Amino acid sequence: MSLSLFRRKNISQAIKDAEVENGEHSLAKILTVKDLTFFGIAAIIGAGIFSTIGRASFNGGPAVSLLFIFTAVACVFTALSYAQFASTVPVSGSAYTYAYVTFGELFAWIIGWALVLEYAVSNMVVAISWSEYFVSMLENIFRIHFPRWLAIDYGTAKAAFSEYLKASQSGELAQLTENTNILARAYQDAPSFLGLKILFNLPAGLITTLITWLIYIGIKESRNASNILVIIKLAVIFLVIIGGVFYVRTENWTPFAPNGAKGVLLSVASVFFAFIGFDSISTTAEECKDPQKDLPRAMIITLIIVTILYVAITLVLTGMVNYAELQVNDPLAYVFEKVNLNWFAGIISVSAVVAITSALLAYQVGQPRIWMVMSRDGLLPKKFSKIHPKYKTPAFATIITGLFVGIPSMFMNMQFFIDLTSVGTFFAFILVSGGILYMDRNGLSKDSKFKVPYINGKFIVLPALIIGLWWTHQNTDGIFAHFAEKPLIVVFWLSWLGLGIGSIKYNFSLLPILGILTNLYLMSELGWTNWAMFLGWLVIGSVIYFIYGYKHSKLAKTKV
């Protein structure tokens, strides 16, 4: 049994399965490079550009624009690995499929289960965020008051009300934030049933239902909607850049890094998250006209476009106002209000809703296709891989995804989902980058139409490790104090050592190693709570695999 856990699917068999599994009810191959690029932009440029950039600029000043460039380069390491896999195994399923042909079935299941965190669970965050922007837009732009008890979860409202009562008893009501007061009133105003307050996030559920319906009726309809939303979003971003340039004061760029390198690096994690989403392109492989060429091109083009926009937006924002003013939830609208262009700030508020809608659409497309491929391999019930005869979409998987995202988003707290998604995303990125090393080592890269540029890490990785340890020792209280302060960082350094030894022995390619180390470092910075939640998630997934997936796998009778 131990060996059969790592049974691998042959690349040619994975491609054949995708071609013949559903017969005449196969997915519709209609997506071009342009469509894929638009999907990538839709996934990446969501709420981040309307909120994250402001807080990152507050920490690092105008120099954060350089951080976006450095982070984009780091993302390229992972994107190149995804691109090579996509050109080698042009099958839906993203990192799940790639793990199946390299590390074997158990790792494939683990990645597939982790991708639920990146796609479905993170979409719960997006749906809740959409609800916040939507309600704010109704009130601030259209002067329509939406009942707050219909736009918030019970736990958050109850916590705010408890904080209100505590402040009231201590005479400190004046110290409460406006948002706390609003949520406390929502709890008070909510109707009751059997003594229990009724509060739920109706807009989050409705937008998830609408997006699910759109994805259910066809990839063509989803593509068209995504393209329209992205065009609107890009138009607003270009207007912000062009219009904002005339209000830039160069003195706001001095000093360029007011808090030094430390201030800039405080935003590494949030800036990195602003780029997550390029991998969602690979989930549509079976709906591409020429996946082996178009998927790699779309990933790289997407990262280039997004990086240029992020850098330009950051420079405009920090040029229009002093960086210290940008710790707000809506920095783009804020800077235009500062220059008395309130009408344009209103347009930006509306565009934020559009931006988040397109991100929700992109991720909601990805999850059903991952489940579809897992079902095709026997690791999930057959129903998940059934293609609708008319709409040419994984119908059942799409409906389940809608329910899986929509119901919790109406009743759960956003922070819970944010904490849950981070480790899973980095874990998937690490295994994809590691998969390239496996492919190179076992001669599988010869089948790749796109390859990660090869740079021999033999004489680079270990010397870089020594320099890194020396630098860390010099710039902290000492390397051992560094380990004591951040115990999880030990995993990062040990992995670096292992990759260095492997580079000497097997001539590993440098760029995938950089992808592994970049993601592992960020993963180590997330803290024990995130790791504990992720491990708990993996335990649940393992139970499901051994109860169902292991026994029903198509490779179950394969001799290994």
pLDDT above 80 for 22: no
* Domain assignments of the chain as residue spans, ordered by start: 4-139+208-455+509-552, 154-199
Q: Can you tell me the distance from the alpha carbon of 408 to that of 526, in angstroms, rounded to the nearest whole number? A: 24
Q: Can you tell me the distance from the alpha carbon of 504 to that of 462, in angstroms, rounded to the nearest whole number? A: 9
User: Between these two residues, 262 and 281, which has the higher pLDDT value?
Assistant: 281
Q: Which amino acid is at 534?
A: F
Q: What is the reported pLDDT for 138?
A: 86
Q: Can you tell me the distance from the alpha carbon of 42 to that of 213, in angstroms, rounded to the nearest whole number? A: 18
pLDDT tens, residue by residue, 355-388: 788 888 888 888 898 899 899 889 999 999 898 8
pLDDT above 50 for 560: no
Question: Is there a contact between 449 and 291 (Cβ–Cβ < 8 Å)?
Answer: no
| Stretch 283-297: mean pLDDT | 83
Q: What is the mean pLDDT of the chain?
A: 84
pLDDT above 80 for 274: no
Q: What is the reported pLDDT for 500?
A: 96
pLDDT tens, residue by residue, 222-253: 888 888 888 888 888 888 888 889 999 999 99
| Stretch 468-492: mean pLDDT | 82
Closest CA to 187 of 167, 164, 206, 161: 161
Q: Can you tell me the distance from the alpha carbon of 281 to that of 223, in angstroms, rounded to the nearest whole number? A: 12
Q: Can you tell me the distance from the alpha carbon of 312 to that of 320, in angstroms, rounded to the nearest whole number? A: 12
Helical H segments across 289-413, by residue range: 291-320, 331-338, 342-376, 395-411
Q: What is the reported pLDDT for 47?
A: 60
Total Cβ atoms within 10 A of residue 400: 19
User: Between these two residues, 209 and 366, which has the higher pLDDT value?
Assistant: 209
Q: What is the reported pLDDT for 554?
A: 83
pLDDT tens, residue by residue, 32-87: 899 889 888 888 887 667 666 777 788 888 888 888 888 788 788 888 898 888 88
Question: Is there a contact between 145 and 122 (Cβ–Cβ < 8 Å)?
Answer: no
Q: Could you say which of 1.20.1740.10, 1.25.40.320, 3.60.20.40, 1.10.260.40 is the CATH number of the domain covering 4-139+208-455+509-552?
A: 1.20.1740.10
Q: Which two tokens stand for residue 377?
A: 């391999």
User: Between these two residues, 76 and 414, which has the higher pLDDT value?
Assistant: 76
Q: ω into residue 255 within 30 of 0, thus cis? A: yes
| Stretch 20-27: mean pLDDT | 56
Q: What is the reported pLDDT for 329?
A: 60
Q: What is the reported pLDDT for 466?
A: 94
Q: Which amino acid is at 553?
A: S
Question: Is there a contact between 529 and 419 (Cβ–Cβ < 8 Å)?
Answer: yes
User: Between these two residues, 498 and 279, which has the higher pLDDT value?
Assistant: 498
Closest CA to 119 of 249, 251, 279, 324: 279
Question: Is there a contact between 466 and 100 (Cβ–Cβ < 8 Å)?
Answer: no
The CB-side HSE value for 20 (13 A sphere, CA atoms) comes to 6
Q: What is the reported pLDDT for 547?
A: 92
Q: Which amino acid is at 454?
A: Y
pTM: 0.81
pLDDT tens, residue by residue, 131-183: 887 887 888 778 888 998 998 888 888 988 999 898 888 888 887 777 788 88
pLDDT above 70 for 432: yes
Q: Can you tell me the distance from the alpha carbon of 266 to that of 271, in angstroms, rounded to the nearest whole number? A: 10
Q: What is the reported pLDDT for 421?
A: 67
- Alpha carbon 284 to chain centroid, angstroms: 16
pLDDT tens, residue by residue, 531-554: 888 888 889 999 999 999 888 888
C-alpha distances in Å from residue 252, one per residue of 56, 271, 317: 16, 21, 10
- Alpha carbon 280 to chain centroid, angstroms: 9
- Alpha carbon 262 to chain centroid, angstroms: 25
User: Between these two residues, 27 and 198, which has the higher pLDDT value?
Assistant: 198
HEC per residue, 256-296: CCCCHHHHHHCCHHHHHHCCCCHHHHHHHHHHECCHHHHHH
C-alpha distances in Å from residue 145, one per residue of 141, 149, 156, 350: 11, 12, 20, 16
Among residues of the chain, what percentage have pLDDT more than 90?
22
